[in-house]
Amino acid sequence: MDFERARFNMIEQQIRPWNVLDPDVLALLSAVRREDFVPSSMRAMAFADLELPLLVDGKSTGEVMLAPKLEARLLQELRVKHHETVLEIGAGSGHMAALLARQARHVDTFEVHPGLAAFARSNLARSAVGNVTVTDADGSRDHAALPTYDVIMLSGSVARAPESLLSKLNPGGRLIAIEGDLPVMQARLHTLSTAGGLTTQTLFETVTQRLHGFVAAPAFAF
């Protein structure tokens, strides 16, 4: 398979048409080899416009790798800077962490599935990404013990962004998440101003799999 041609086609046919035009983000997608972060049996599908199931020892973990255009759009909206620290919930294969690491000072990424955490560490090490720490942890819990971050990325959907994570933003910090319940979800960017006020911007509609441990919103009761 001609991976470079497939990568070029992914960027030109999927990502640019989805309003991802930031040259730094497009350069990232060219530089980070997506095919090195998918299960070996799926390398030929690495650039397909779909979510790929993540496997460990050939068995499904129940988790997925976000579609390329969604990863790219989230990165574009976050505008990560080189001095910033990042928290990612849901390491998966390590691909999003690798992209974030190219832009940030350091990335902490949590993964609840031990086999996937090991897979992510292996992928990141093989790709010589040294500024990412992969932690075996349930990212839906124990937020009070976390330090604060400049950027928080939820690599999966939640009913709504939890206050316990929003409280971990530094002034000027951003949290991005896919929020809502099927069939309607929206990407939202939450920004903490330097004065301490929190603003929320709805960016676009999309759907993706629920992050482990983040329960659905309570149903409305009459």
Give the burial class of 127: count Cβ atoms within 10 A of its Cβ; 0-12 exposed, 13-18 middle, 19 or more buried: middle
The C-alpha angle 84, 90, 96, rounded to 5 degrees, equals 55
pLDDT value of position 213: 85
Tokens found for residue 137? 């942890």
Place of tokens 């928080």: 152
Q: 182: which residues sit within 8 A by CB, 6+ positions away?
A: 207
Please provide residue 13's backbone torsions phi and psi, each rounded to the nearest 5 degrees: -100, -25
Is 214 in contact with 159 (CB distance < 8 Å)?
A: yes
Q: Give the DSSP letter string of 123-175.
A: HHHHTT--SEEEEES-TTS-GGG---EEEEEEEEEESS--HHHHTTEEEEEEE
pLDDT value of position 217: 53
pLDDT value of position 216: 62
Per-residue tens of pLDDT for the chain, all 222 residues: 899 999 999 999 999 999 999 999 999 999 999 999 999 999 999 999 999 999 999 899 999 999 999 999 999 999 999 999 999 999 999 999 999 999 999 999 999 999 999 999 999 999 999 999 999 999 999 999 999 999 999 999 999 999 999 999 999 999 999 999 999 999 999 999 988 899 999 999 999 999 988 876 544 444
Place of tokens 């951003």: 174
Place of tokens 């962004």: 161
Is 206 in contact with 221 (CB distance < 8 Å)?
A: no
The C-alpha angle 142, 197, 83, rounded to 5 degrees, equals 70
Cα 2 to the center of its chain, rounded Å: 26
Rounded CA separation 133/137 (Å): 12
pLDDT value of position 81: 98
Q: 140: which residues sit within 8 A by CB, 6+ positions away?
A: 89, 162, 211, 212, 213, 214
Region label for 73, one of left (φ > 0), alpha (ψ between -120 and 50) or beta (otherwise): alpha
pLDDT value of position 48: 97
pLDDT value of position 1: 87
